[in-house]
A and B are shown apart, each in its own frame.
Chain A
Amino acid sequence: MSHPSILKLEAHLIDPARSLIAGHLASCDHCRELLLKMQQQGDEFMRIVYPATVQALEPRRTSRWSWAGIFAPVAALAAAGVVMIVNRGPASDYEGTKGVAIKLNVYASFEAGAKVLSDKDQVPASAALRFRVQPSRACNLGIVSVDERGEVSRLFPASGNEGAKLAAVEDLPGGAILDGKPGPERIFAVCSADPLAMPQVEQAVKVASGTGADSVRNMSTIPGLPAGTVQATLLLEKSP
């Protein structure tokens, strides 16, 4: 008697309704026994392995975004001459440093390849993004975003309480994946000559953003940051 392969048994376990081997299983004690053993191993996975390992696979549980090394090097894009983004001026209560600026480039992956994004661009709600940041002089960088629910996400650096040192133009390692929820998402790149306290930046964004789509769309700077902090922002419209 010929028996189905392991792959066919796995397919049956995943989707019994579409199984191609249901007829065979009905008349084969050997395969039913094998299937039972496989189910028991699956139960063991859910009982023991899953709880012990899932957290390590979720890089940023508290974030609405996830990081991943998913794109081809952004340097290749730069070589193609795609550079552009928003560098908004400071609000009236913003104390910037004269002559210091920062440029943020955001790239998204599409079927046809990666594309540099412009302010207010529509992107798929689950788009994968990468960042290039160019400061006019060495500084400590942090990137955060906020959505219409007022939820603030840390995008860079992925961990730690301080911004990451940035000496010159840099394609940031990894990337970020949007949370899949349609609506506006505003990204801020913030850089400071002094150490940058990321919790302070996140809190400042939260306080300033409020909630609501228009609030996010109209927010152009993060007020209340320490003197010498420069910032750039980009608004994305996440579409279903």
Chain B
Amino acid sequence: MPAVDGVAQLYRQFGPVVYRRCLALLHDREAARDATQEIFRKLLVDQKKLLERESVLPWIYRVATNHCLNERRNRGRRGEEELQPDLQVATEAPPDLFPERQLVQQVLARFDQETQAIAVGVFVDGMEHEEIAAALGISRRTVLRKLGRFVENAKKFMLRSTG
């Protein structure tokens, strides 16, 4: 584990990754700054992982995504700020997924954190099922199952909302 200078170096190297993730999910510079600091503190608890070239990015992605989704949920619960349907959907998502994109934005908060992370990964970050499975440390089968359940329940929710 690196000493103090190493911490600063790691922060310079990976801090931008965390910050971008926070901006994408929180859409608030001040909240993103605070979240970046908190997330990096979590990452530093297991600093060795920051030195593993092949797995470091998926790990950061997972920790940062979970933290920011939590933060979104908590802000909503605290009533500090209404959850904004502000996630930019991935342009690479096929056109026939457009209704699902809308669903992601509108009903995300109604699902458990892992399902949220899967939905964000696929519909917002444009990740393949295998890629999001690896990043979240779950099986591709779990991704498919939770994604299917997410879309199905979200559609029901939308039907109820519009009906």
Whether A14 and B17, one on each chain, are in contact in the complex, defined by CB atoms closer than 8 angstroms, is yes
Whether B45 and A54, one on each chain, are in contact in the complex, defined by CB atoms closer than 8 angstroms, is no
Whether A57 and B91, one on each chain, are in contact in the complex, defined by CB atoms closer than 8 angstroms, is no
CA distance A193 to B90 in the complex (A): 65
Residues of A with Cβ closer than 8 Å to B?
A: 1-7, 10-11, 13-14, 30, 38, 41-42, 44-46, 48-50, 52-54, 56-61, 63-66, 68-70, 126, 128, 177-180
Whether B4 and A53, one on each chain, are in contact in the complex, defined by CB atoms closer than 8 angstroms, is no
CA distance A61 to B4 in the complex (A): 6
B48-84 residues with Cβ-Cβ distance < 8 A to A are 57-58, 61
What residues of chain B lie closer than 8 Å to A1, measured between beta carbons? 92
Whether B127 and A56, one on each chain, are in contact in the complex, defined by CB atoms closer than 8 angstroms, is no
Which of A5, A45, A63 is the one whose CB lies under 8 Å from B128?
A5
A14-B57, A53-B37, A57-B37 known; A5 vs B45 contact (CB < 8 Å): no
Q: Chain B interface mostly helix, strand, loop or mixed?
A: helix
What residues of chain A lie closer than 8 Å to B58, measured between beta carbons? 7
What 0/1 readout, one digit per residue, does chain B (1-36) give for beta carbons within 8 Å of chain A?
Answer: 111101110011111110110011000000011001
What residues of chain B lie closer than 8 Å to A63, measured between beta carbons? 4
CA distance A109 to B126 in the complex (A): 40
B41 at interface, CB cutoff 8 A: yes
B131 at interface, CB cutoff 8 A: yes
Whether A45 and B16, one on each chain, are in contact in the complex, defined by CB atoms closer than 8 angstroms, is yes
Residue of B nearest to A69 (CB): B45
Whether B126 and A178, one on each chain, are in contact in the complex, defined by CB atoms closer than 8 angstroms, is no
